[in-house]
Chains A and B, each alone.
Chain A
Amino acid sequence: MKFIPILIQAGISGFESPAAEYKELGLSLDKLLISNPDATFFGLAQGESMVEAGIFDGDLLLVDRSEEVKDGDVIVANYNGCFTCKYIDKKYARLLSASPKYLPVSISPEDEFQLEGVVTCSFRLHRKLRELLACMH
């Protein structure tokens, strides 16, 4: 059986909102920022090597595994068993930091290396979030 949703009005009814026609779904951060939910995960940045890219210790990272990796992207890689966030230098197979204090890292054949995904955005939490406090340490 199919129901056709037409409202029948009877008795006292107020005035329909003049804005009703313009109502849309609310804004959702998920919808805006995550284009491939199945391939996306959250991570927590630890360390200071990407500060000039605007990524600070304790920032929240969104990593998308389905995005195509372009030269110079901020990426997450499995580098010798650790998730590592760096700029990727495809030409010279290097991981570059965004801080003068950290030297470029060349990826050698002996290294365990897998690209995990592209950091599509990062969040600075200007007020501490209770949910995340536990994982800051």
Chain B
Amino acid sequence: MYALVDAVSYYASAEKVFDPSIRNKPVVVLTNNDGCICAVDPIARKLGIPKFIPYFQIKNFLVKHNVVVRSSNYELYADLSERMMNVVGRFCDNQYVYSIDESFLHFKNYNSLIKDWHQYGHKIRRAVWRETRLPVGVGFGTTPTLAKAANHAAKKLDGYNGVAVINDDRSRKEILDKMSLTDVWGIGTKLGKRLNILGINTAWELANQSPKAMRSQFSVLVERTVNELNGIACLNWDEVRQDKKEIFSTRSFGQRVVDYNALKAAITSHGCIVARKVRKQRSLIKRLLVFASSSPHDDNYYKKSLIYEFPVATDNTLKIAAAISFIFDEIFLDGVNFYRCGAGAIELENCQFHQHDMFNVSVNNPELMQCYDHINNRYGNGVIEVAAAGQREKWEMRRSFLSPGYTSKWADIPKIIC
């Protein structure tokens, strides 16, 4: 048996944990730079507020309905996520943390121990609520994809109340019948439309397709999904998340940038973030894309992007900063109001299977980078930084509605009235 446990509108729920004054109010959370709405709590959902709508478009509506607006407080979400995962992990010896608010559990040989999965699901829910004040949904299924489907039912379908179990044909049909295609794990909007054309509209209809036919018409991934929907487990943790093929760090500026050094610092800083992520998945950068642009709504829209190819693939932050510095003059143009910039590793090599070059010496410095990452992990990101990444102020994320760092800053710990 598999389970998927995830939080109900995680970011919005996390905002309520240490702020009891908003527990019963509608809450929405905004993305980076307060651009769009990325989380809508169940109370706000009842007001009909959609996800991913630009904030400025719905601002007046939010004011009118007294909706609480928050910027993304990643420090808080990271801390609460860890707590939640630890509590969930107590309920199974095989846990796979899939994202900031989702984790899979794989129960092997538990059938003699757990008679009632519903009850067990509610036990998990109660424990997480009690110890972290986060509401979670629990879905059980005989494969990861069915667990994910049950989780969807637990949270979105009437009558499930936070826990759903798919452990026989009846429960499987009941839930899959009510699920649209794109609610199935691994079926995106595009794929969903192509399947719709074939007359496949629900998860149950997809489950009844021939896996072989799906493979020849679409891909091995769709074949796998069909098998998983029929109770044949095909996914394991390693396949659930593969290494990323590309890693980008990019963002629009809180306020426009015209200064040469400021833009250079911003791009370098994005390069450093990419380098850190690349090291984390033990890859090396072969080709790096660097770009900057004004806004497409501006007159004389300006956009320039360049690719730097490293002679030998590297994960060395210093070399990446040097590469950016090397090509930066070709990107910068005097007089442009820069709105957006970024860097992205577009060709990665695996650290383990790295092909050495006879003529070019590796420029990596694993000891230095390890030390650099250790310091930043221990004392907080940005504690040490390459000088070229400069100071952050001007282009740092706009977070006008940021809640306090209740669990990460002493000055922000919650006040308790005596």
Contacts and interface: CB of A to CB of B under 8 A. Distances in A.
Interface string B398-418: 000000001100111111111
B335 interface: no
B132 A47 contact: no
Interface in A65-117: 65-66, 76, 78, 81-86, 112, 114, 116
Interface in A3-55: 36, 38-39, 41-50, 55
Contact of A44 (B130, B132, B413): B413
B59 interface: no
B21 A38 contact: no
B410 A45 contact: no
B352 interface: no
Nearest to A131: B410
Nearest to A39: B131
B276 interface: no
Contacts of A61: 416
Given A65-B130, A82-B20, A114-B20, A43 B411 contact: no
B132 to A, nearest CB: 7
B355 to A, nearest CB: 24
A81 B410 CA distance: 22
Nearest to A57: B418
A77 to B, nearest CB: 9
A134 interface: yes
A135 interface: yes
Contact of B407 (A41, A48, A83, A114): A41
Interface in B118-138: 130-133
B24 interface: yes
B87 interface: yes
A121 interface: no
Contacts of A132: 410-411
A63 B131 CA distance: 11
Contact of B21 (A82, A84, A131): A82
A47 B226 CA distance: 61
Given A38-B87, A112-B24, A83 B131 contact: no
A65 B416 contact: no
Contacts of B20: 78, 81-83, 112, 114, 116
Contacts of A46: 415-418
Nearest to A77: B20
A27 B128 CA distance: 30
B28 to A, nearest CB: 19
B277 interface: no
Q: How large is the interface on B (under 10, 10 to 19, 20 to 34, 35 or more residues)?
A: 20 to 34
A9 B414 CA distance: 54
Most B CB within 10 A of own CB, among A43, A61, A84, A86: A43
B418 A65 contact: no
Contact of A45 (B130, B132, B418): B418
Interface residues of A, number: 36
A85 B417 contact: yes
Nearest to A49: B418
B418 A47 contact: yes
Contacts of A49: 418
B152 to A, nearest CB: 26
Given A81-B23, A82-B20, A83-B20, A43 B418 contact: no
Contacts of B416: 43-46, 61, 63, 76, 83-85
A38 B83 contact: yes
Contact of B415 (A65, A81, A83, A86): A83
B418 A55 contact: yes
Nearest to B22: A81
A48 B410 CA distance: 22
B171 interface: no
A83 B414 CA distance: 8
A131 B87 CA distance: 29
A65 B132 contact: yes
A135 B86 contact: no
B338 interface: no
Contacts of B407: 41-42
A42 to B, nearest CB: 5
B21 A81 contact: yes
B332 interface: no
Given A83-B20, A112-B23, A132-B411, A38 B131 contact: yes
A81 B86 CA distance: 28
A110 to B, nearest CB: 13
Residue of B82, B132, B411 with highest tally of chain A CB at under 10 A = B411
B21 A43 contact: no
Contacts of B132: 38-39, 65
Given A41-B413, A65-B132, 7 more contacts: A38-B86, A41-B414, A78-B20, A86-B418, A116-B20, A133-B411, A135-B411
25 contacts: A38-B82, A39-B87, A41-B18, A41-B407, A41-B414, A43-B416, A44-B413, A46-B417, A49-B418, A50-B418, A63-B416, A65-B132, A65-B133, A78-B20, A81-B20, A83-B414, A83-B415, A84-B416, A85-B416, A86-B418, A112-B20, A114-B23, A131-B410, A132-B410, A135-B410
